[in-house]
């Protein structure tokens, strides 16, 4: 089965593009959603997080306190390593279980992993057959995130500085979607790539 890693900077339109592929029949695994699931109340990461960081890392409802952990990681780089040492293997495990079920079901022409930090995280590139980058101007990203999250410009810029640059992403892309235009223009690009991915899946099935 053809497996594709979809990535892009914050606000580039990854979720929107992924939903368009899903509407055309692609299987989707969103690693950001999995990260939220394992850190929700009762999630698989909660007990090891409390062991590592104490009960102060949780909100009263039992979910990981994302703001508290963000502040902690910001002031202590070893906390980032410890946090990722807990969450990354769990995300990988859930991802693999879901991918296995999708491959076995045979119901989808191809599988798309949505991985915000694909370029930054290193191991992902080798795990997928192709990398699809959703690309847009930085000003477009900034405007979208301000509108979507109510962040200030400086907050968006601070997040973008911690992410790979456009050039770094484009350097590893097999396919690029330009998302500076309208939703209609986006759909036309998704349609073209959907046809490509279906044809590549057919080739690998008969090879
Ligand atoms: P990401 O998942 O990469 O952070 P999203 O898919 O959530 O980005 O897109 C960011 C915001 O911009 C969302 O509110 C989305 O609906 C909007 N958006 C994305 N692409 C377009 C587009 N082509 N035209 C208008 N709005 C868009």
- In the chain, the number of structural domains is 2
Centroid of ligand 1 to alpha carbon of 116 (angstroms): 14
174, 132 in Cβ contact below 8 A?
A: yes
Residues with CB under 6 A from ligand 1: 8, 10-16, 144, 148, 179, 182-183, 186
3-state secondary structure at position 170? helix
CATH number at residue 77: 3.40.50.300
- pLDDT < 50: residue spans in the chain: 206-207
Do 133 and 56 share a structural domain?
no
The values of phi and psi at residue 107, to 5°, are -95, -5
- Domain limit, last residue, from 107, 136, 165: 107
Q: What is the Cα–Cα distance from 50 to 193, expressed in whole angstroms?
A: 43
| pLDDT at residue number 206 | 45
- Predicted local confidence at residue 124, as pLDDT: 86
pLDDT value for 203 = 59
For ligand 1, the distance from its centroid to the CA atom of residue 141, given in whole angstroms, is 8
pLDDT at 204: 53
Name the nearest CA neighbour of 20 among 188, 170, 201, 199: 188
Task: Report pLDDT digits (tens) over 16-37.
Answer: 999 999 999 999 999 999 999 9
Nearest CA to ligand 1 atom 10: 11
Calculate how far, in angstroms, residue 135's C-alpha sits from the geometric centre of ligand 1. Answer: 11
Q: Which among 11, 35, 118 is the best mutation to test ligand 1's pocket, defined by most ligand atoms within 8 Å of the CB?
A: 11
Residue among 162, 181, 189 at smallest CA distance from 10:
162
Q: How far apart are CA 153 and CA 168, in angstroms?
A: 22
Q: How far is the CA of 50 from the centre of ligand 1 (A)?
A: 34
Contact status, residue 87 vs residue 45, Cβ threshold 8 Å: yes
Q: For residues 41 and 73, state if they share a domain.
A: yes
For residues 121 and 206, state if they share a domain.
yes
Residues 18 and 40 in one domain: no
Ligand 1: which atom is nearest the Cα of residue 8? 3
- 93 and 184 co-located in one domain: no
In DSSP terms, 175 is beta-bridged to 132
Q: Are residues 38 and 132 in the same domain?
A: no
CA of 204 to the centre of ligand 1 (A): 32
Looking at residue 201, its pLDDT comes to: 84
């Amino acid at each position: 089965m053809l497996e594709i890693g979809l990535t892009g900077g914050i606000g580039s339109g990854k979720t929107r593009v992924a939903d368009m592929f899903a509407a055309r029949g692609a299987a989707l695994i969103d690693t950001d959603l999995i990260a939220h699931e394992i850190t929700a109340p009762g999630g698989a990461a909660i007990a090891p997080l409390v062991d590592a960081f104490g009960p102060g890392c949780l909100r009263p409802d039992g979910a990981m306190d994302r703001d508290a952990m963000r502040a902690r990681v910001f002031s202590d780089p070893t906390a980032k390593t410890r946090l990722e040492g807990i969450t990354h293997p769990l995300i990988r495990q859930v991802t693999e279980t879901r991918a296995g079920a999708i491959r076995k079901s045979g119901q989808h022409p191809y599988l798309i992993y949505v991985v915000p930090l694909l370029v930054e995280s290193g191991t992902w590139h080798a795990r997928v057959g192709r990398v699809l980058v959703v690309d847009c101007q930085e000003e477009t990203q900034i405007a979208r995130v301000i509108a979507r999250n109510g962040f200030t410009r400086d907050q968006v810029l601070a997040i973008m500085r911690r992410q790979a640059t456009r050039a770094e992403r484009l350097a590893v892309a097999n396919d690029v979607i330009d998302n500076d235009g309208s939703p209609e223009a986006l759909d036309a690009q998704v349609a073209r790539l959907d046809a490509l991915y279906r044809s590549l899946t057919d080739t690998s099935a008969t090879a």
